[in-house]
Chain A
Amino acid sequence: DVQMTQSPSNLAASPGESVSINCKASKSISKYLAWYQQKPGKANKLLIYSGSTLQSGTPSRFSGSGSGTDFTLTIRNLEPEDFGLYYCQQHNEYPPTFGSGTKLEIK
């Protein structure tokens, strides 16, 4: 199975700031990396797939980059609703595997 290593585990930032979350695959997954947001009481949300393609409805302040084994999610100009848990996931092969998550908190 492809192991996904996500960093950092925790991140604190203020509204208006920019943050980056990293995800490293144990082998090349080409461009097939997705990012999800998880918030209490809400359905999980697919934000980005294929490394950099925004899912319909994802605000443009979110961006994804990378290929091969190293990927980054960047959120610019943080809004209050952006705080929560973020997971990366490889969708290149079975079984699909997730990173361990990054908790983004308000500073």
Chain B
Amino acid sequence: EVQLVESGGVLVQPGRSMKLSCAASGFTFSSFPMAWVRQAPTKGLEWVATISTSGGSTYYRDSVKGRFTISRDNAKSTLYLQMDSLRSEDTATYYCTTGGRNLFAYWGQGTLVTVSS
């Protein structure tokens, strides 16, 4: 059974940094592109970033380019999202997903990031 378990979501002040992790199991992690999708409170889904199987290619939405970094450790079957210079508009539940061909077939339960002073 595919399992994606996110962690690291907390309350953080604007301008600060934090790092999310996603532990994957039940599938060959290194064979799948992975992605982060977020959902602000009471809002819809919004793609954030995608990483290729090797980690050699990454893609970001414009509003997080230069501030967020997606990475992966295939030996540990873990996906990461380093978030710097956080803004109030980054407040959301962040979901870890499998992301091949821009399709999000499997999702975690999400981790809540709140950016507030």
The tally of CB-CB contacts under 8 A between chains A and B is 49
CB–CB B44/A87 < 8 A: yes
CB–CB A46/B44 < 8 A: no
User: What distance in Å separates the Cβ of A41 from its nearest Cβ neighbour in chain B?
Assistant: 8
Instruction: Kindly list chain B residues whose C-beta atoms are within 8 Å of the C-beta of A91.
Output: 101-103
Interface size class of chain B, counting residues whose CB lies under 8 Å from the partner chain: 10 to 19
Stretch at the interface among B23-31, B71-79, B104-112: B104-112
Instruction: Kindly list chain A residues whose C-beta atoms are within 8 Å of the C-beta of B106.
Output: 43, 46
Q: Knowing A94-B59, A95-B61, say if A44 contacts B44 (CB, 8 Å).
A: no
Instruction: Kindly list chain B residues whose C-beta atoms are within 8 Å of the C-beta of A36.
Output: 45, 104
CB–CB A98/B47 < 8 A: yes
Segment 60-117 of B: residues with Cβ below 8 Å from A: 61-62, 95, 97, 101-109
Instruction: Kindly list chain A residues whose C-beta atoms are within 8 Å of the C-beta of B45.
Output: 36, 38, 44, 87, 89, 98, 101
CB–CB A46/B104 < 8 A: yes
Interface-centre pick from A44, A46, A99 (highest chain B CB count, 10 A): A44
Instruction: Kindly list chain B residues whose C-beta atoms are within 8 Å of the C-beta of A46.
Output: 103-106
CB–CB B102/A96 < 8 A: yes
A100 proximal to B (CB < 8 A)? yes
Number of interface residues of A (CB under 8 A): 23
User: What distance in Å separates the Cβ of A28 from its nearest Cβ neighbour in chain B?
Assistant: 16
Segment 22-51 of A: residues with Cβ below 8 Å from B: 32, 34, 36, 38, 43-46, 49
Interface string of A53-83 (1 = CB under 8 A from B): 0010000000000000000000000000000
CB–CB A100/B44 < 8 A: yes
8 CB-based A-B contacts, threshold 8 Å:
A38-B45, A46-B104, A46-B105, A91-B101, A94-B102, A95-B61, A96-B102, A99-B44
In the complex, besides A38-B45, A98-B45, 15 extra interface pairs with C-beta distance below 8 angstroms are: A34-B104, A36-B104, A44-B104, A46-B104, A55-B105, A87-B44, A89-B104, A91-B102, A92-B102, A95-B61, A95-B62, A98-B44, A98-B46, A98-B47, A101-B44
